[in-house]
Amino acid sequence: MGKKFSKVTTSHWGAFNVFVENDKIIDTEPFHADPAPPNISQLVPNAVHHSKRVDQPYVRKSWLKKNTTNARGNDEYVPLSWEDAIDLASSELIRVKNDFGNEAIFGGSYGWASAGRFHHSQSQLHRFLNSIGGYVSSYASYSTGAAQAIIPHVLGLNFHKVTWGEINSWRLIEKHTDNLIIFGGINPKNSQVSMGGSTEHDVSNHFKNFKQLRKNMISISPQQDDSPKETNWLPIIPGTDMALMLAIAYVFETEELANQMFLNTHSSGYQLFKKYFLGEDGHSAKTPEWASQETGIDASTIRDLARSMASGRTLICVSWSLQRARYGEHPFWMACVLAAMLGQIGLPGGGVGFGYGAIGNVGKTAQRMQGPLFEQGQNPISDFIPVSRIADMLLNPGGPYNFNGEKRIYPDIKLVYWCGGNPFHHHQDLNRLNNAWQHPETIIVNEPWWTATAQRADIVFPATTQFERSDIGWAKGDPYIFYMPQMIPPVGLAKNDYDIFTALSKKLNCEEKFTENQSSEEWIEGIYDKFYKQARSQGINVADFETLKEKNFERMSIDQDEEDYVPFKAFRDDPLKNPLGTPSGKIEIYSEKIAKFNYPEIPGHPIFNKPCLDRKFPLRLLSPQPHDKLHSQLQVAAEEISKHAILVMNPQDARKRGISEGDLIKIWNSRGSCLATLRPQETIIPGVISLATGAWFSPAEDGLDISGNPNVLTADTGTSDLGQGSAAHNIEVEVEKYQGN
C-alpha cells in the first residue's frame, strides 16, 4: 500500500497541492499564496485516471492493412507493444524522409501541454525532428496571429515584446491612469491561465482598487461580463470596433483634441490617413452618426467617450479577441493611431496596451529573466505556414497563398507528427479540417487521452501527464520557481515524450544528437543549473537545484520596488536617438510597405471593412475561452459534470425562438451544427450568442457535434492576406430547440 502524501506542483492555470494515496491522485487543493485560485485543478484526479487515457501504443487498423476504405475518425485501433510501435513509426519517418525529403514532414506541435520546461511537448518534438533533418514548421499563434503580423509594421517591435515588455504595469495604471478604455474586455477568467502558469491571480483586485480610486473604466464589448463588474459597460455590435475607433478619431481631429505636435514628431502618415476618416478621399466621413449606424452606439455617447479620453491620462486596452476575426489587423493598428493622436505614448499610465486579461502575468511588475529552457536546435528546413492555415496546406499542396507581403506555396505534406495539442479543438471549421486530415499518408500522435486528434491518428503513443514525471516549472513574469515532483507512476504503459523520441532516435541513428547522452533527470538538472547561474548573474538569489527539490518551490525576489518601467519612454523623449524599428523610425499610421503589398482588404492605413454575413443566419456567434478549464484540457472530467456546452443568449432572442433556460438547443449554419444547453442572460446584447470553446469534437453519424464545440461553426479563413490569423469570431448562425434523441 502506498503512503498518502501531498506535494505542490504548477500548471498553466497556476500552482496547487496534489494529494496521492496508493499511487493514485485522490484530491487537490488551492495553493496557499494564491489570492484568487481557479477551480480547474479540481478536475485533475478524475482526468488523470480516466478511462479515456491511452493505455498503450495503438495503430489504426485500416492504415496497418493499407486499406483506404475506413477514413480517419471512423476506424478501429489495434494495440501494439512498444517495440512494434517504435518500429512502425521509425520506418514511416525513414520512408517519408528518403522518398520525399524532410519538406514533407509537418511538426504540428501547437498546444499548451505541460507547464514543465523540460517536458515541453513542442520543444521535445521539434528537437527530435531537427535531429533527423528538419520539418515544415508553423508561425505565430491562433491567439495572436493577426497582431503578430501588423504590430511590427506599426510599432517596429515583435508583438510579444510589446505584450510583455512595452506595456504599462498594473501599478503604473493605478498611479497615473485616469481613463481605462477597454476594447473587447479584460476578463479575469482568461487571466487565470498563462504559458507556464500564473501563481498569484490578482486581476480582480486591481479593478477593485481602480474603482475605489474613481477611475473612468469603460468596457466596450457585446458581453457585459467580458470585464470585471467595476467597469461601465458600453455594448457594441461585434466586428464594429473599428468603426467606433474611426469616429473617435474624427472627434479628436474636428474638435482639436488631437496632439498635433506628437503626431508630427513621433508618427508618420497622419496627414494622409486623416483624409480617409474625414471623408476627403472619396470615402464617407467617419462621423459619430455614421459609426452609430454600424456599432449600435448613440452618436452623442461616441462624442462623450472621445472627449473623456482627451480629458486626462488615457490607456487604450485592446483584447486579443478583436484580432481573432476577419480583418482583425485593423483594430490593433487603429488603437495605436488613437494613442498617437492623444500623444500619451511614452507617458506613465498612457498609450496603448494589448493583452491585459487575455492571459496571466501581463501587467505584472517583475524583473525580466530567462527561464529554464530545453533547446530545440536548428531547423534545416526554412519552409513554414501561418499556424491556422493547416487545413489549407493539406487540401492544397503546391497551391499559392499570400502572407505578409510574400507570395508563398503550400508544401506537400506526407507525414504529420503531433505532440502536445488538439487541433480538433482549436482549429476553425472542424468538418473541413476533418476532410483535410484524410490527405497525409501517415499521422503520428503522442497523447495521454483519446482526444479527437488521437482518434484520427494512424500511430498513437501513450504519453504521460505532468504528474507521472518530474520537471521544472516557471512562467514569464511570475516570481515562483517550482520543482514539479513525479506524483504517481505512469498510467498504463505511458512514457514521457523524451523517452519516446529517444527510442525513435535510436532507430533513426540520431540518438546522440537528440539526447546528448543525457537522461531526462540529467537534462532537468542541467537546464536548471544554467537558469540558476543566469539568475545569480542578474543579482537574483535563487535556490540551487538540490535545495529547490527539497523545498518544492521558492518565491524569488524579482518584484520591482523602484518606479516601474514606462513603455516607449525613450522613444518619446528622443525619437531621433531612439527610433522604432519601422521604416520611418516612427509610429506608422500610414505604411508604404503595406500599401505596396496591394491587399484590397488592408491598404496602407487602417480602414473599416463592414462584416459580410449570410443573412439566412441572423445571430452572431462569439467563442470565448471557457471558465472551467484551460482550452480543452481536462475535458474528459469536465464533461462528466456538464455533458453539453453552455450557450449564452439574450432573453429577447430566446423568447422569439420559444426556448428557455436549460433547453437543449441546436446551433447551426452552412458549415456544421452542434448542441448546447441554453442559458438566457441580459449580459449579452440581442442578436449575439456566446458559446465557449473547450468541448471535444464529438460528431454523431449525421455530423451533429454532441458536446458543443463552436469550431464546427466557425469559418476557416484568414484574417487577411497580411496576417492569415484565425478568424473565429463574429460568425453567422441560427438556433432552435433540439427535437432529436
Q: What confidence tens digit (pLDDT) does each residue in 505-544 have?
A: 999 999 999 999 999 999 999 999 999 999 999 889 999 9
Average confidence (pLDDT) over 400-405: 98
Q: Is 112 a catalytic residue?
A: yes
pLDDT tens digits, 608-636:
999 888 889 999 999 999 988 888 889 99
CB 268 within 8 A of CB 587: yes
**Which of the following is catalytic: 58, 77, 110, 410?**
110
| pLDDT score at 69 | 78
pLDDT value of position 371: 87
Is the distance from CB of 431 to CB of 672 less than 8 angstroms? yes
Residue 543 · residue 551 · CB < 8 Å: yes
Per-residue pLDDT at 559: 72
Share of residues in the chain with pLDDT > 90 (%):
88
Which one of 112, 142, 270, 418 is the catalytic residue?
112
Helix (H) or strand (E) holding 73: none
Average pLDDT over residues 473-487: 94
Residue 122: C-alpha distances to residues 174, 226, 448, 522, 613 (Å) = 37, 31, 15, 20, 37
pLDDT for 477 beyond 90? no
Please state the domain extents for the chain.
58-135+375-473+480-555, 167-367+577-595, 619-737
Question: In whole angstroms, what is the distance from residue 681 CA to residue 614 CA?
Answer: 25
For residues 283 and 400, give the distance between their C-alpha atoms in angstroms, rounded to a whole number.
32
**CATH number listed for the domain at residues 167-367+577-595:** 3.40.228.10
pLDDT digits (tens, 9 = 90+) for 220-277: 999 999 999 999 999 999 999 999 999 999 999 999 999 999 999 999 999 999 999 9
Cα atoms in the Cβ-side hemisphere of radius 13 Å centred on 641: 15
Q: Which three cell numbers stand for residue 294?
A: 454600424
Q: Mean pLDDT in the chain? A: 95
C-alpha to C-alpha distance for 244 and 294, rounded to whole angstroms: 8
Q: Which residues are CB-neighbours of 641 under 8 A, at least 6 positions away?
A: 628
To the nearest 5 percent, what fractions of the chain are helix, strand and coil?
A: 35, 20, 50
Give me the CATH code for the 619-737 domain, please. 2.40.40.20
Q: Which of 99, 722, 138 is nearest to 381 (CA)?
A: 138
Closest CA to 23 of 44, 42, 43, 4: 4
Q: Burial level of 310, CB count in 10 A (0-12/13-18/19+)? A: buried
- Residues 467-478, mean pLDDT to the nearest whole number: 94
- 657 pLDDT above the threshold of 70: yes
Asked if 368 and 478 touch (Cβ cutoff 8 Å), the reply is: no
State the Cα–Cα distance between residues 724 and 669, nearest whole angstrom: 23
Contact (Cβ atoms closer than 8 angstroms) between residue 118 and residue 520: yes
State the DSSP string of 681-722.
Answer: -TTB-TTEEEE-S-----B-TTS-BSS--GGGTS---BS-TT
**Number of other residues whose CB lies within 10 A of the CB of residue 132:** 22
pLDDT of residue 142: 95
Contact by Cβ (8 Å): 351, 388? no
More confident residue, 643 or 323: 323
Per-residue pLDDT at 710: 98
Q: Is 590 in the active site? A: no
Set of cell numbers at residue 155: 510599432
- Grid coordinates given for 731: 460568425
Q: Is the pLDDT of residue 164 over 90?
A: no
Per-residue pLDDT averaged across 280-305, rounded? 97
707 pLDDT higher than 50: yes
CA distance 114 to 465: 7
E-only strand ranges, 16-173: 16-21, 24-30, 58-60, 77-79, 105-107, 137-139
Residue 409, CA distances (Å) to 106, 474, 719, 728, 737 in order: 15, 38, 18, 24, 44
Question: Is 563's pLDDT higher than 70?
Answer: no
CATH of domain 58-135+375-473+480-555: 3.40.50.740
Q: Which three cell numbers, joined as nine digits, stand for 631?
A: 482550452
Long-range contacts of residues 270-279, Cβ cutoff 8 Å, at least 24 apart? 270/337, 270/340, 270/341, 270/589, 270/590, 272/590, 272/604, 272/605, 273/337, 273/589, 273/590, 273/605, 273/606, 274/249, 276/605, 276/607, 277/246, 277/249, 277/250, 277/253, 278/250, 278/253, 278/254
pLDDT attached to residue 112: 83
Q: Which of 100-104, 369-373, 688-692 has the lowest mean pLDDT?
A: 369-373
**pLDDT of 303-347, one tens digit each?**
999 999 999 999 999 999 999 999 999 999 999 999 999 999 999
Please state the rounded mean pLDDT for residues 407-417.
Answer: 98
Q: Which of 594, 580, 624 is nearest to 161 (CA)?
A: 580
Listed ranges 472-481, 559-568, 725-734; the one with the highest mean pLDDT: 725-734
Binning pLDDT at 50, 70 and 90, where does residue 2 land?
A: low
Q: Is the separation of the CB atoms in 668 and 598 below 8 Å? A: no
Share of the chain above pLDDT 70, in %: 99
